[in-house]
Amino acid sequence: MRAGEPPTVDMGPVARALLDPLLLVEAQVTAKVRLVTSAVDTQKVVLAQRAAGDAAAFEAQVVELALQAVFAAVGARARQASCPLYDAIGPSLRAELESEITRRMTKALAGIGLGVARLEGLNLTMDPKTVSWLRSRRSSPGAAPAPPTPPPDEATELAPSQCGACGTDVRPGSRFCVSCGAPVAQPGARAARRCASCGAENAPDAKFCGSCGARTP
């Protein structure tokens, strides 16, 4: 690759876990696409290539930025359409999703002087286990919804709890807050000890803050 030359990169298949904003379950979404970039600012491209060290490292940086944009776009599209991730990556919303992906990629790559010339062969799929669960739920609309993981025993079922970061109610078994995305403390886990000086979270038995060194309450 010549200095300043925009790369063409093949991405995937890469799978990442995303929280379904509607069904409150975690699903594996797999992405595969070819990204053809364009040089928006050649000087920035040259500087980014030099900072990366070699062509392979620069292309790896481009791939990671682009993939982050892809998965962020999937989650955002599902929230905007108030639909499950399965529908967000489906054919009915594909045009809107590709537009969202392109917009987010363009913003992510601008920092290294690149733009999005075009996307080729975009393919987004979901893990078969979640797909089967969604299909069975839709075929039996009167059935009580249940995530594709074993439900807790009735005797140990927990009442809704609150997100420690924003205070939003979260359903039992949720690992992330549907409002702010913060991790949700699991039952039986000891609460983190928050530093009164800087606000950093520490281990439950910490006597001093690992961030600022102040004594924890």
Chain segment 70-125, per-residue pLDDT in tens: 999 999 999 998 888 888 898 888 899 999 999 999 999 999 999 999 999 999 99
Q: Over 60: is that where the pLDDT of 14 sits?
A: yes
Average pLDDT over residues 35-45: 92
**Domains in the chain and their CATH numbers?**
8-126 (3.30.479)
Q: Angle at Cα 80 formed by Cα 13 and Cα 23, nearest 5°?
A: 70
pLDDT at 187 (0 to 100): 57
The tens digit of pLDDT for each residue in 145-198 reads: 455 554 444 333 445 567 766 777 777 767 677 777 677 666 555 556 777 777
